[in-house]
Amino acid sequence: MSREIREKIEKLRQELNRHNRLYYQEAAPEISDEQFDFMLKELENLERLHPEYDDPLSPTRRVGGEPVKEFTTVQHPRPMLSLANTYNEDEVEAFTRRVSDGISGREAVYHCELKFDGVAVRLEYESGRLKLGATRGDGVSGDDITGNIKTIRNVPLTVQGTDVPEKLEVRGEVLMPLSSFKKLNSQQVDAGLKLFANPRNTTAGTLKLQDPKIVARRDLRFFAYGVFSEDHPFSTHSEGLDFLAAHGFQIYPARSLCKNLAEINRFIAEWEEKRDSLPFEIDGVVIKVNQTGLQEDLGFTSKVPRWAIARKFSARQASTLLKDIVLQVGRTGAVTPVAELEPVFLAGSTISRATLHNEDEIRRKKLSPGRYVLIEKGGDVIPKVISVDESRPVPEGPVWQMPSQCPECGTGLIRDEEDAVARCPNPECPPQVRGRIEHFASRDALNIDGLGESVVDLLVSSGLIRSAADLFTLTRDQISGLDRMGEKSAENLIRAIGSAREQPFSKVLFALGIRHVGANAAKILAKNFKSFENLAAASEEELTRVNEIGGATAASVATWCRDEQNRNLVLILQQAGLQFEDFSSSALITDSPFSGKTVVFTGTLVTRKREEAETIIEKLGGKAAGSVSNKTHYVVAGSEAGSKAAKAAELGVPVLTEEQFNEMIAPYV
């Protein structure tokens, strides 16, 4: 009996996988959705009654497994590099010339394919079974999202065939069809929830959800665009894609082999015209040298392959009515004019608002409510007003004038002669209060999980907090008593606020929101002055002596530190346990091989991230720089090292391999 049950389970799995492939890859379904669901339900019941036959790659896992608390980070065996972008024919021609120069008279064939506007992922298969699904991340490492990848119905969970290598890496793009995106937003409307912005952002957010069951309910698709296998090398890029198509992976058929620039440009023109007819978003065409041998000879720069380029399409435009110009107040008091537009659908989303930057920009473009304007999406993401639509009649009425008072608190606006932006000088202005707290809790600052825009608004509007310092006096009972906040949410938020005490001085300094002090400037200031006390005592002249700290930043820091209210905030935060000293300075080693030396990293490091390596150099008394010069003492070259290594050789600067670097730092780390 047990043998019969096992055979039935295996047969159901095989049939469901076959029908999945027929539906998604071949668009030739043999059974109805109801029949498919009936078979799936039958398999679910058998697996529940017979857990001894469990298989993590069963088709039933498409509906989602158990939620995860966090995603683990995985290293990519070979970097997932981005592509260089180009926007016109001249730059494509320049690319083909560079390729021709780099292959010494040999003839390149180019493979042209669509550039999907989705999220790049990497899949690993061992013995034909899906082992890992990972995001691109920073190109060197990404998040393990295998549980979410399994829910994507056109991702093969197993790869059949005698020619399937033991280890196979497949790269591709996950995206959401436009029809599914519209359906999802329709459900949001029915539920009274906020609409999603566009398919790409929705896809990225979905893949990072910690509950695979929710991911399974959203119709994501996977299109493969690359394959790697040391056991089964492919002589051309197109051969690799043909292999994937023959083994159950979805390859979009819009691709072409082109022998010259004219054929490449014809392909680009064809799909720029057809892009709106596709069931999903694309933002250009990818052009790759087809022969993998030539790809290896051309190699990489530090950031991009030399054998591929992305020809981006022109941003799409639309004409719509400028209904009004309203003012938006930011955390620094900057007052930004925002265009209220007649809603118009453009490049995958409905646009109803766009920033106008400042009063001078409005005057230059002669914008005023009642006029029709041309809008476009920069990079098909950020909407912006390009100009008035000269083909439309100009209505009668007064020219728009910048108000003299803050729209939120009524305080008179001020504008420095050298500043294009008007500002509200009232630090108690409500949007400034909310903005400062949101910035304080943001990822690059103190990274307080759960303290987003809606929760900050709830805490401020309820009167529980008026500044970032008030966060550390909150109690669980106060939070749980608010609308939409229960005991568990309150407990998690209190814990997250407590974790801010562990953040280093550089992040605390950035969290204070001092104008012109970004995350990098905060790190530089913390390293050079060691404590807030030293920083506050420094003059503008002393601040500007620090490398990479300019006059505007120095003046802003000095002014902020002199303000009594700001100093009181720092005192309260110190009492709350936040770090206002750079304790890492005590760990500096002054007798290492890198003490007093300037080091530049190039290429991709295998054993650690570049940021970690640069931190090690700093702890060993050296300086990590971004470019090679006569003042550089060492260049550390990882894989696919680019022009920096060449320049080092030209200047006579010693170039270390990653192995040599690791040997030199081994006694100290």
Residues 6+ apart with CB under 8 A from 220: 151, 152, 174, 175, 176, 203, 206, 207
- DSSP label of 513: T
Measured CA to CA, the distance from residue 251 to residue 113 in angstroms comes to 10
Residue 241 lies in a domain: yes
Task: Look at residue 24 in the predicted model and tell me its pLDDT.
Answer: 62
Task: Look at residue 65 in the predicted model and tell me its pLDDT.
Answer: 60
Residue 125 lies in a domain: yes
Whether 200 and 347 share a structural domain:
no
Task: Look at residue 525 in the predicted model and tell me its pLDDT.
Answer: 93
Q: Which two tokens stand for residue 259?
A: 């022998």
CB atoms inside a 10 Å sphere around CB 252 = 18
Residue 7 lies in a domain: yes
Whichever domain contains 108, its CATH number is 3.30.470.30
Measured CA to CA, the distance from residue 507 to residue 641 in angstroms comes to 31
Q: What is the value of pTM for the model shown?
A: 0.55
Residue 80 lies in a domain: no
Whether 339 and 222 share a structural domain:
no
Residue 78 lies in a domain: no
Whichever domain contains 49, its CATH number is 1.10.287.610
Residue 393, Cβ density class (10 Å: 0-12 exposed, 13-18 middle, ≥19 buried): exposed
DSSP assignment of 158-226: B--STT--SEEEEEEEEE--HHHHHHHHHHHHHTT-PPP--HHHHHHHHHT-S-HHHHHTS--EEEEEE
CB atoms inside a 10 Å sphere around CB 591 = 8
Crossing angle for the helix pair 89-102 and 261-274, to the nearest 10 degrees: 140
Strand-pairing partners, residue 581, are 531
Measured CA to CA, the distance from residue 279 to residue 178 in angstroms comes to 6
Task: Look at residue 67 in the predicted model and tell me its pLDDT.
Answer: 66
Whether 120 and 268 share a structural domain:
yes
Whether 283 and 257 share a structural domain:
yes
Measured CA to CA, the distance from residue 482 to residue 465 in angstroms comes to 13
Last residue of a domain, one of 263, 281, 312: 312
Whichever domain contains 473, its CATH number is 1.10.150.20
Tens of pLDDT, residue by residue over 480-505, are 988 878 888 899 999 999 999 989 99
Last residue of a domain, one of 357, 388, 419: 388
Whether 175 and 51 share a structural domain:
no
Residues of the chain falling short of pLDDT 50 = 379-380
Q: Is 115 a catalytic residue?
A: yes
Strand-pairing partners, residue 486, are none
Task: Look at residue 253 in the predicted model and tell me its pLDDT.
Answer: 93
Residue 422 lies in a domain: no
Buried b (16+ CB within 10 A) or exposed e, 228-250: bbeeeebebbbebbebbeebbbb
Whether 600 and 559 share a structural domain:
no
Residue 77 lies in a domain: no
Task: Look at residue 659 in the predicted model and tell me its pLDDT.
Answer: 86
Residue of 115, 507, 523, 619 marked active site = 115
Contact by Cβ (8 Å): 240, 321: no
Question: Could you tell me the residue range of the domain that residue 492 belongs to?
Answer: 430-502
Whichever domain contains 383, its CATH number is 2.40.50.140
Whether 633 and 547 share a structural domain:
no
Task: Look at residue 149 in the predicted model and tell me its pLDDT.
Answer: 94
Domain count, the chain: 6
Q: Which two tokens stand for residue 249?
A: 């992976």
DSSP assignment of 49-67: H-GGG--TT-GGGGG----
Whether 293 and 188 share a structural domain:
yes
Task: Look at residue 395 in the predicted model and tell me its pLDDT.
Answer: 84
Last residue of a domain, one of 467, 486, 502: 502
Measured CA to CA, the distance from residue 540 to residue 555 in angstroms comes to 6
Among residues 9, 236, 284, which one has the least CA distance to residue 108? 236
Say if strands 308-312 and 85-86 run parallel, antiparallel, or are unpaired. Answer: parallel
Measured CA to CA, the distance from residue 481 to residue 477 in angstroms comes to 6
Whether 130 and 92 share a structural domain:
yes
Q: Which two tokens stand for residue 600?
A: 């530049």
Residue 485 sits at φ, ψ, to 5 deg, of: -120, 115
Measured at the CA of 398, the angle between CA 394 and CA 401, to 5 degrees, comes to 120
Whether 207 and 257 share a structural domain:
yes
Whether 452 and 489 share a structural domain:
yes
Measured CA to CA, the distance from residue 621 to residue 595 in angstroms comes to 4
Measured CA to CA, the distance from residue 584 to residue 588 in angstroms comes to 7
Whether 51 and 141 share a structural domain:
no
Residue 425 lies in a domain: no
